[in-house]
Amino acid sequence: MKKSFFRFLCISILAFLQVTNAAAQDSSRIRISLLTCTPGEELYATFGHSAIRIIDSNSVTDHVYNFGTFNFDDAGFYLKFTRGQLKYYVNVEQFGDFNYSYIAENRGITEQVLNFTAAEKITIHRALIENIKEENKFYMYDFFYDNCTTRLRDIIVKYHHPSPVLPAVMPTTYTFRNAIHQYLDNNHKYWSKFGIDVLLGAPTDAVMTNAQQQFLPENLMKALDSTKNTDIVSSSKNLYVLGETNSKPSLFTPLVLFSSLLLSFILLSFLKTNVAQNILRKLDAFLFFAIGLLGVVLVFMWVGTNHIMTKNNYNLLWAWPMHIVYAFVIYKNSKRVKAYSMLVTVFLILLLCCWFFVAQKMNNALLPLIVLMIWRAGASINKKNVFIEKRN
């Protein structure tokens, strides 16, 4: 009898301690979760989005803190954006509004409830409240190194004890360019992929570390689920499952365009009429002028902006800014012009031979364009400065 009573007393005490401990852990009455949204149709939404949700039962609030906000009405918006000087800021909104906007765009939402202690939750909540103050909310955004997802990753790693060791969720040989290509290909954004490949230089081909992989929202979500040294995610659920999309591959790709352009030049060259030959000359001038103008843009993006990834751009091996001048004199019977034409021809042939060995991954849609440049620069060497008149 005494043993049974003693056993009952021990069990009761243990149960009481467990309940008391659980209550102590939840004394903050705060729940913190990471929201991960699937990609959208617009280019800026192609890579998904992350935000942090905080439910505070004490104040009966349900807020979402979003570090991916910028102001279109900011003075000099486009210039600041181009130069990498646009400041983003943290914004807070009601969860209902956030949820509605992403469902309206048919973008899936996954919520991971994060396992913090009461003290950690209170500290994070206070830090975010401090962060949304006018004097604290702005930061210099960088798509790869300091964005709406990396900011949340840093908060989680800083305030959770022990700090979670987030593993790689992509192949360890993946570069930044491989990572963004994966998303652009999945969303059939071939023109965006082409433009990004032309504008972003050799730094984009650096192999990512485990931490650097987490600039993408989905990667951070997967890394938190895969953490081994601590249980950071207590539960996970889909708040909205992505519905069917109508996105279909387009046949009008950069490769198709430049191949068609090359074919058009070939067809025109077979037409020996005066009109066709004069059109061909004007197209030659336009071709090299446009490429030279692109070269000026690439130089500006390299030396005139704060973007890290637009520096050391090897696309300048074919997009020479001097082509702007060359476009106006391409058919002059001058030794200097012919020497420049020869230089362009020989250099681009060498570039083609080294195409897959350049320190920067070049977009293969450029190949027919490079071939066209070689042919037209070579063709100008044997042309004289005469314009063919239409014969009556």
**Sign of the four-CA dihedral 193, 196, 202, 208:** negative
At 83, the pLDDT band (50, 70, 90 cuts) reads confident
pLDDT of residue 20 exceeding 70, the answer is no
User: What's the half-sphere exposure (Cβ side, CA atoms, 13 Å) at 186?
Assistant: 14
> Residue 231 corresponds to which amino acid?
D
Neighbours of 370 (CB within 10 A): 19
> Residue 291 corresponds to which amino acid?
I
**Sign of the four-CA dihedral 166, 167, 173, 179:** negative
Give me the pLDDT at residue 14, please. 44
Give me the pLDDT at residue 26, please. 65
Give me the pLDDT at residue 248, please. 74
The 3-state DSSP class for residue 361 equals coil
Tokens representing residue 281 in the block: 């000359």
For 285-321, b/e burial (b = at least 16 CB within 10 A) is: bebbbebbebbebbeebeeeeebbbbbebbbebbbbb
Give me the pLDDT at residue 16, please. 39
Give me the pLDDT at residue 287, please. 97
At 70, the pLDDT band (50, 70, 90 cuts) reads confident
Taking the model in full, what pTM does it have?
0.86
Q: How far is CA 151 from the centre of its chain?
A: 16
Cβ atoms of 144 and 215 closer than 8 Å: yes
Run of H or E including 233: strand 233-240
Give me the pLDDT at residue 245, please. 63
Whole-angstrom distance, CA of residue 239 vs CA of residue 100 = 11
Neighbours of 218 (CB within 10 A): 20
pLDDT of residue 388 exceeding 60, the answer is no
Whole-angstrom distance, CA of residue 48 vs CA of residue 38 = 5
Whether omega before 368 lies within 30 degrees of 0, making that bond cis, reads no
Determine the average pLDDT of the residues in 291-299.
Answer: 98
At 333, the pLDDT band (50, 70, 90 cuts) reads confident
Give me the pLDDT at residue 126, please. 95
Q: What percent of the chain has pLDDT over 90?
A: 75
Backbone φ, ψ for residue 62 (5° rounding): -140, 95
Q: In what order do the strands lie in the sheet with 49-56?
A: 138-140, 87-94, 61-69, 49-56, 30-37, 109-114, 233-240
Query: Considering only 130-144, 151-165, 373-387, which range has the smallest mean pLDDT?
Result: 373-387
Annotate 260-318 with DSSP letters as a single string. Answer: HHHHHHHHHHH--SHHHHHHHHHHHHHHHHHHHHHHHHHHHHHHSS--STTSS-GGGGT
Question: CB-based contacts of 138: which residues, under 8 Å, 6+ apart?
Answer: 87, 88, 89
Annotate 3-49 with DSSP letters as a single string. Answer: HHHHHHHHHHHHHHHHHHHHHHHTTT-EEEEEEEE---SSGGGTT-E
- If we measure between CA atoms, which residue out of 375, 377, 370 comes closest to residue 337? 377
Q: How far is CA 125 from the centre of its chain?
A: 29
Whole-angstrom distance, CA of residue 92 vs CA of residue 65 = 5
At 382, the pLDDT band (50, 70, 90 cuts) reads confident
Run of H or E including 110: strand 109-114
Domain ranges of the chain: 26-170+208-240, 254-381
Give me the pLDDT at residue 389, please. 40
pLDDT one-digit tens code per residue, 214-265: 999 999 999 999 999 999 999 999 999 876 666 677 789 999 999 999 999 9
